Amino acid sequence: MEIIKGKIIVLGDDVDTDQILPGYAMAEPYDKLGGFAMAGLAGLDFNAVYEPGSILVAGRNFGCGSSREQAPIALKQRGVSLIMAKGFARIFRRNSINIGLPVWAADLAGQVKTGDLAEVDLEQGKVTVNGVEYTFPPLAENVLKTLAYGGLIPRVRAELGME
């Protein structure tokens, strides 16, 4: 994987799938979900701080709540390049990897602020923000491989020669 560069948007703990993609957006066409990403988030005007390629930095339990797979799809469609959090709800994490959206258990909460620029190397487990380098356990090789293919279905199709 290449280096991911983007503007950080700091979120808190327990960002649930209703905040990521509100229930009312579930009735929208699949290809329009990105327009509703983070529409349920209280306390932050996501549209005011977002720019394509943004990196979300959160605390514990990101993606908790209902297991709707549309939540990570909305973030990917919106153009979020990476989500780093102290921890993830298991189903949200797996759904994200399966659609090719990088998620990484890397706790930067309290060390960075919204608007900071980050450079991230998931293979090496390194994040550089404002000239300060942080290291975390890198993503597993299997996860990196799935992300390199753009998700689980493209990976399986390629491995089975069905491209």
Read off the pLDDT of each residue in 141-158 and give the average, rounded to a whole number.
96
| pLDDT surpassing 80 at residue 14 | yes
Q: What is the pLDDT of residue 91?
A: 96
Please give the CATH number for the structural domain made up of 4-159: 3.20.19.10
Q: What is the pLDDT of residue 67?
A: 84
Read off the pLDDT of each residue in 44-51 and give the average, rounded to a whole number.
93
| pLDDT surpassing 90 at residue 52 | yes
Of all residues in the chain, the percent with pLDDT exceeding 90 is 93
- What's the pLDDT tens digit per position in 17-41? 999 999 999 999 999 999 999 999 9
Residue boundaries of the structural domains of the chain: 4-159
Residue type for position 4: I
- 78 contacts 50 by C-beta, under 8 angstroms: yes
Q: What is the pLDDT of residue 43?
A: 87
| pLDDT surpassing 80 at residue 1 | no
- 20 contacts 74 by C-beta, under 8 angstroms: yes
Read off the pLDDT of each residue in 62-70 and give the average, rounded to a whole number.
92
| pLDDT surpassing 80 at residue 163 | no
Residues in the chain: 163
Q: What is the 3-state secondary structure (H, E, C) of the chain?
A: CCCEEEEEEECCCCCEHHHHCCHHHHHCCHHHHHHHCCCCCCCCCHHHHCCCCCEEEECCCECECCCCCHHHHHHHHHCCCEEEECCECHHHHHHHHHCCCCEEECCCCCCCCCCCEEEEECCCCEEEECCEEEECCCCCHHHHHHHHHCCHHHHHHHHCCCC
- What's the pLDDT tens digit per position in 97-124? 999 999 999 999 899 999 999 999 999 9
- Taking every pair of C-alpha atoms in the chain, what is the biggest distance, in angstroms? 47
Which of 44 and 56 is assigned the larger pLDDT? 56
